[in-house]
Amino acid sequence: MHSPDDVQYAMETTRVLLEPDRRIDTFGDTRFEFLLLSELMDRTGEIRIRSGDVEAVRPRLVKPDAYSELELEGFDPTAKERIERMVEKMKSEGKDMAFLNYGFRFARSAVSEEIVHDPIEQVRERVLEDARQRGNPAQAVIEGVDDAWEVSVVKFALDMIMHSIPINRFDFQRRGLL
């Protein structure tokens, strides 16, 4: 288990060096392949390269009607009624209460790793050049922290969500679902 400081450090230092060309599909699941580069903490000139897959499940559109199905455990008995009134008021003011819900699957069993004995700069250049030559639109190259590498993958997933929201929203609007 990582401390909050470890998680914060990993989130702040993780960099996506090569983003996939594609975004999260609006109406289907999307699979991304990642290569994660990280320097070993106790050895200089040794870089761990992890490779694996992250699957983004189809974004779900959550509309105001779904708020009526909220389960409010431990709240005042009138809380549900107040939420319903708030939703109705916002709808009457023309505010869009719909939002997109994203989910990811991360299969640790699919992760492989190797250690190379070169400076990080050389490994970074080699991996990026190889990824560009392959031209895989689902490929990401990430540089992160070795002991909290899973956090680096989560940071990548969050970045993909942020880049995909405008496209997914447009797709839902184009089909009249928003």
Residue 95 has pLDDT above 80, yes or no: no
Q: How many domains does the chain have?
A: 2
User: Is there a single domain that holds both residue 72 and residue 128?
Assistant: no
User: Is there a single domain that holds both residue 82 and residue 33?
Assistant: no
Q: Which pLDDT does position 33 carry in this prediction?
A: 92
- Tell me the C-alpha distance between 88 and 92, whole Å: 6
Tokens of 165: 């929201």
Residue 19 has pLDDT above 90, yes or no: yes
Residue 89 has pLDDT above 80, yes or no: no
The domain in which residue 92 lies consists of 64-97
Residue 102 has pLDDT above 80, yes or no: no
User: Is there a single domain that holds both residue 127 and residue 80?
Assistant: no
Burial class (CB in 10 A: 0-12, 13-18, 19+), 93: exposed
Cα-based distances in Å from 34 to 42, 129, 139, 165: 24, 15, 6, 21
- Tell me the C-alpha distance between 90 and 100, whole Å: 18
Q: What is the pTM of this model?
A: 0.76
Q: Which pLDDT does position 16 carry in this prediction?
A: 96
Residue 107 has pLDDT above 50, yes or no: no
What is the average pLDDT across 98-110? 63
Residue whose token pair is 């070169």: 118
